[in-house]
Amino acid sequence: MPTLLWLRRDLRRRDLPALLAAHEASDGEVAVVFVVDPALWEGAGPVRRAWLARSVQAAREAYDGRLTVLHGAPIEVIPRVAAAIGASSVHVSRETTPAGARRDKRVANALQDNGIEWVETGTPYAIGPGILTTGAGTGYKVFTPFARAWREHGAPSPAPDVDATWLEMDDDRHAMKALEAAVAADDLPQLPDAGEAAAWQRWTDFRDEAVETYPTDRDRADRAGTSGLSPYLKVGAIHPRSILADLAGEHGDGAEKFVTELAWREFYADVLWRAPRSAWHDLTHSLDGMSYEQPGPLFEQWTQGRTGFPFVDAGMRQLLATGWMHNRVRMVTASFLTKDLHIWWPHGARYFLDRLIDGDVASNNHGWQWVAGTGTDASPYFRVFNPITQGRKFDPDGDYVRRWIPELRHVPGAKVHEPWKHADGYAHGYPEPIVDHAEERRIALDRYEAARS
Predicted confidence at residue 75, as pLDDT, reads 97
Residue of 135, 130, 182 whose CA lies nearest to 323: 182
Provide CB contacts within 8 A for 440, sequence distance 6+: 339, 340, 341, 342
pTM of the model: 0.95
* Measured torsion, CA atoms of residues 49, 54, 57, 62, in degrees rounded to the nearest 10: -130
Between helix 387-394 and helix 327-335 the angle, nearest 10°, is 170
d(CA 239, CA 248): 15
CA distance between the termini of the chain: 65
> pLDDT tens, position by position, for the chain (453 residues)?
999 999 999 999 999 999 999 999 998 799 999 999 998 898 888 999 999 999 999 999 999 999 999 999 999 999 999 999 999 999 999 999 999 999 999 999 999 999 999 999 999 999 999 999 999 999 999 999 999 999 999 999 999 999 999 999 999 999 999 999 999 998 898 899 999 999 999 999 999 999 999 999 999 999 999 999 999 999 999 999 999 999 987 779 999 999 999 999 999 999 999 999 999 999 998 899 899 999 999 999 999 999 999 999 999 999 999 999 999 999 999 999 999 999 999 999 999 999 999 999 999 999 999 999 999 865 677 789 999 999 999 999 999 999 999 999 999 999 999 999 999 999 999 999 999 999 999 999 999 999 887
Residue of 320, 313, 332 whose CA lies nearest to 432: 313
d(CA 274, CA 414): 44
Predicted confidence at residue 396, as pLDDT, reads 98
Residue of 37, 58, 304, 33 whose CA lies nearest to 191: 58
Beta strands in 148-293 (DSSP E): 165-166
Residue type, 32: V
The burial class, CB within 10 Å (0-12 / 13-18 / 19+), for 271 is buried
Integer CA distances (angstroms), 308 to 204, 303, 352, 384, 418, in order: 39, 12, 20, 18, 9
Question: What domains, with CATH codes, occur in the chain?
Answer: 3-123 (3.40.50.620), 125-154+195-274 (1.25.40.80), 297-452 (1.10.579.10)
Predicted confidence at residue 381, as pLDDT, reads 73
d(CA 23, CA 18): 9
Say if CB 196 and CB 59 are below 8 A apart.
yes
Burial 70-96 (b: 16+ CB within 10 A, else e): bbbebbebbbebbeebebbbbbbbbbb
Cα R_g (the chain), whole angstroms: 23
Provide CB contacts within 8 A for 274, sequence distance 6+: 129, 130, 139
Q: Where are the alpha helices (DSSP H) in 29-73?
A: 38-41, 46-62
Beta strands in 74-186 (DSSP E): 89-92, 117-120, 165-166
d(CA 46, CA 299): 20
* Measured torsion, CA atoms of residues 354, 358, 361, 366, in degrees rounded to the nearest 10: -110
Residue 220 φ/ψ, nearest 5 degrees:
-85, 110
Residue type, 114: N
Say if CB 111 and CB 75 are below 8 A apart.
no
Residue 70 φ/ψ, nearest 5 degrees:
-120, 165
| CA geometry: angle 204, 206, 212, nearest 5 deg | 120
Residue of 180, 428, 112, 377 whose CA lies nearest to 267: 377
d(CA 333, CA 347): 13
Predicted confidence at residue 377, as pLDDT, reads 67
d(CA 413, CA 417): 9
User: Residue 7: helix, strand or coil by DSSP?
Assistant: strand
